[in-house]
Chains A and B, each alone.
Chain A
Amino acid sequence: MPRVKSRDALEELIGEIVAKRDLNKPCITLCSGTACHATGSDSVADAIVEELDKQGLTEEVGFRRTGCHGFCEQGPIVVIYPEAICYLNVTPDDAPEIISKTIKETGIIDRLLYTDPSTGERIVHEHEIPFYKHQSRLVFGDNLRIDPTNIKDYLALGGYRALARVLHELTPEEVLEEVKRANLRGRGGGGFPAGMKWESTRNAPGEPKYVIVNCDEGDPGAYMDRSIMEGNPHRVLEGLTICAYAIGARHGFVYVRQEYPLAVKNLGIALEQAREYGFLGTDILGSGFEFDVKVHRGAGAFVSGESSALMNAIEGKVGEPRPKYVHTSEAGIWDKPSNLNNVETLANVPLIIEKGADWFGSIGTEGSKGTKIFSLVGTVNNTGLVEVPMGTTLRDIIYKIGGGIRGGKRFKGVQTGGPSGGIIPVQYLDLPVDFDELTKLGSMMGSGGMIVIDEDTCIVDLARYFVDFLCDESCGKCVPCREGLKRMREILEDIVAGRGKEGDIELLEEIAVVMKKASLCALGTTAANPALSTIRYFRDEYDAHIKEKRCPALVCKDLISYYIEPEACIACLKCLKNCPEGAIEGEKRVIHVIEQSKCVKCGICYDVCPPKVGAVKKISGKPVPPSLPEAERAIRKGKKKGGGSD
């Protein structure tokens, strides 16, 4: 393919690609994000290709492997166009039937359709499934239609048009103005206005200038940046190139973590194709503008996602933060003005250029414009990636889209903002989610992780988990963060182990104040959030652990015991056989008993006890009842057993 040398040539190319595509030709798409790799998307792909070949349909039917569709709970997902028939949880064995029935005879295979759990109704089309219906997928939507390794798919949807417009129609100042007017705020954590950051980098003295994409995504529980990078890398590159033009940079970096091999791979392919077509390199689209991008793989350190640390890493140094009084927009990589943006932030840029700041500003809330992609995970029914306008309520996200809490459990809270965010309790379910509202509640937007927790999660243990995470990830350079986190971890470990004492909570709060004031980077200044927000909303759980040595969620190992209820036990041997420690005693027709001294509380007995029986119980805060005398443990034939209750 020769380089595209002008705006007209781009239009011509797009026209050609679109003209060659017959929208009525059946096309099978299969999502192939990482989550679906985990559920066997590769073997489904092989089966479909083989079957198309067998039935002699390779020519007449298109087949495309796309990026993540977001509904990862139900993957692998097959969508058949033009009707957009959506099949979920597809296995290789389904391939022959999909082709002979749906492709050849336009028949629907009922068992592969989505079933509405509340009404039992089956839903045929993708956009009618509640998970998708209530979203507005402005940034993420194209993932469904693009094979990320084929630039033509991106071009067919009008890709690189925004870049062409910028290069040929707008001055860098005008681009800045547009992005500022759109009030695009950073999606990577801080919510800082992108236009302002671009402007300060542009105005900072020093050459060359650098632009960088942050695809480190160290926030555990969040994977939207990965899914965009894997599924639609050209969109990020287009956004980055526009940013480079506005700032006056000729060199860019993509910082992507090594743990995301598919993202690294697809990005590499995209870069090659973009260079080949002349969307990167010298004289881009005949405008005289020159820009190219290098990939830097991150090596697995949470703190390296912080802007100054990330720039250190790009220089080949240890990825530790620098003191914040030097702004990276003035002195970043090799002390040159550098602009860092998150993947999702940049993926919004082509959209703003194409549709205008006014349009963008019409979506969202007063202070937060546009949409946000959330990684809706944890104990919710429909886990996956969810894109909604800023200001959508938590209730809509968790119940309308997420389908509520799994297993009919009680909703307890939702954790947002990553490890240094906070937990929002049930009374704020009707809160419109945007940058400012979350901050008011002591949490934050972060990069968009939304981890739903139910009654089976212990809040104190979760706070301990975050503090432990941050303690491990603290680079240790500054004392408040390094020592403060260690002390906090000790205190929380004591509380969950039943060694908590009066005054612990106050001590945690005191440490938090110092860390907030005196830490070097945002990791330290926000590290106390998980403890503070849980104390604020769930103090009674702390008190139960400290004063009563009781874990209300029945999680903390040192505070719970497993116990088999003799009235419910049917002596089925299941728990006994599965117990790895041989701690369960009994035999057929003899009620089982856990020997408490041998029990390691792994919970396997609890998991394998048939739900109807439910004889294995967890108890906390009270002693285990004495076991029945030997003589009373025999179950006589014909004796009616009472079923277990929960």
Chain B
Amino acid sequence: MVEIDMKVKMKRVDEIIERYKGEEGVLIQLLLDIQSEFNWIPHGVIARISEKMRIPTSQIYRIASFYKAMSLNPVGRHIVQVCMGTACQVRGAPKILDRLEANLKIKEGGTTPDMRFSLKRVNCLGCCAMGPVIEVDGTYHGKVTSAMVQEILEKYE
């Protein structure tokens, strides 16, 4: 089973690589596509990119660790992003983050042991008028209060 999974995965990786073959300066775009496909960038995939694109793994790791949008660790089924941008900050975002950390019993950047949630802080989701904002799997929740946090989390199995 795992074996087949791996094969399917690598096939997707190869398809993504194929989009960029022969072009210059595409590494960041390629890694972003991998990130959106798997929600993280597995080590095996980095080796594959290195081999196919003839780019040293060190260079790939350098990029993948520099950018916030890329993750080198596996993430949970649901990704909770808390906006800590200025507009959200002055409307109570720190309290929301505290509450999420307390309810999920993880720190930001972490993943719950049951792999249900990963918690991330981001700098601005661009819905500043709705602050404080959290985003779960692409759905935005605006004007969040501490008391709403648990209710929102319960929607995600």
Contacts of A218 in B (CB 8 A): 123-124
Which of B32, B88, B141 lies in contact with A38, CB distance below 8 A? B141
Contacts of B99 in A (CB 8 A): 580, 602, 604
Q: A38-B133, A218-B123 are in contact. Are A602 and B145 (CB under 8 A)?
A: no
A35 within 8 A of B: yes
Instruction: Name the CB-closest residue of B to A384.
Output: B129
- Interface residues on chain B, size class: 35 or more
Instruction: Name the CB-closest residue of A to B128.
Output: A377
- B146→A602 contact, CB < 8 A: yes
- B142→A38 contact, CB < 8 A: yes
Which of B25, B32, B138 lies in contact with A314, CB distance below 8 A? B25
B2 within 8 A of A: no
Bound-complex Cα distance A35 to B124 (A): 12
Contacts of B4 in A (CB 8 A): none
Contacts of A457 in B (CB 8 A): 90
CB distance from B61 to the nearest CB of A (A): 11
Bound-complex Cα distance A403 to B142 (A): 20
Interface residues of B in 1-57 (CB under 8 A from A): 24-29, 31-32
- A39→B128 contact, CB < 8 A: no
B75 within 8 A of A: no
- B147→A604 contact, CB < 8 A: yes
Instruction: Name the CB-closest residue of B to A376.
Output: B129
CB distance from A259 to the nearest CB of B (A): 7
CB distance from A562 to the nearest CB of B (A): 13
CB distance from B152 to the nearest CB of A (A): 13
A219 within 8 A of B: yes
Q: Which of B29, B86, B138: most chain A Cβ within 10 A?
A: B86
Contacts of B74 in A (CB 8 A): none
A223 within 8 A of B: yes
- B146→A604 contact, CB < 8 A: yes
Which of B26, B103, B126, B133 lies in contact with A217, CB distance below 8 A? B126
Q: Mark A580-596, 1 if CB is under 8 A from B, else 0.
A: 10000000000000000
A379 within 8 A of B: yes
Instruction: Name the CB-closest residue of A to B67.
Output: A299
Bound-complex Cα distance A449 to B26 (A): 31
Contacts of B138 in A (CB 8 A): 261
A34 within 8 A of B: yes
Contacts of B82 in A (CB 8 A): none
- A419→B86 contact, CB < 8 A: yes
Contacts of B25 in A (CB 8 A): 314-317
Interface residues of B in 93-117 (CB under 8 A from A): 95, 98-99, 102-103
- A223→B128 contact, CB < 8 A: yes
Total A-B pairs in contact (CB under 8 Å)?
152
Q: Mark B55-91, 1 if CB is under 8 A from A, else 0.
A: 0000000110011111000000000000011111111
CB distance from A267 to the nearest CB of B (A): 14
Bound-complex Cα distance A454 to B27 (A): 44
Which of B62, B95, B98, B129 lies in contact with A383, CB distance below 8 A? B129
Contacts of A602 in B (CB 8 A): 95, 98-99, 102, 146
A319 within 8 A of B: yes
Contacts of B90 in A (CB 8 A): 378-379, 451-453, 457, 462
Instruction: Name the CB-closest residue of A to B89.
Output: A465
Instruction: Name the CB-closest residue of B to A578.
Output: B147
Which of A261, A316, A383, A603 lies in contact with B26, CB distance below 8 A? A316
- A220→B146 contact, CB < 8 A: no
Q: A221-B128, A379-B91, A604-B146 are in contact. Are A318 and B66 (CB under 8 A)?
A: yes
Which of B32, B87, B123, B145 lies in contact with A297, CB distance below 8 A? B32
A313 within 8 A of B: yes
Which of A72, A299, A378, A452 lies in contact with B69, CB distance below 8 A? A299
Contacts of B156 in A (CB 8 A): none
CB distance from B75 to the nearest CB of A (A): 15
CB distance from A314 to the nearest CB of B (A): 6
Bound-complex Cα distance A73 to B142 (A): 10
Contacts of A469 in B (CB 8 A): 123
Bound-complex Cα distance A465 to B87 (A): 12
CB distance from A45 to the nearest CB of B (A): 16
A287 within 8 A of B: no
- A220→B86 contact, CB < 8 A: yes
A112 within 8 A of B: no
CB distance from B10 to the nearest CB of A (A): 23
Residues on B facing A (Cβ under 8 Å): 24-29, 31-32, 62-63, 66-70, 84-91, 95, 98-99, 102-103, 122-131, 133, 138, 140-142, 145-147
Residues on A facing B (Cβ under 8 Å): 34-35, 37-39, 72-73, 217-223, 226, 258-261, 296-297, 299-302, 313-320, 375, 377-379, 383-384, 415, 419, 449, 451-453, 457, 462, 465-466, 469, 473, 475, 578, 580, 600, 602-604, 607-608
Closest 9 CB pairs of A and B: A220-B85, A316-B25, A72-B129, A38-B140, A299-B67, A300-B68, A221-B86, A377-B87, A220-B124
4 extra interface residue pairs, beta carbon distance < 8 Å, beyond A221-B86, A223-B128: A34-B125, A226-B126, A300-B68, A578-B147
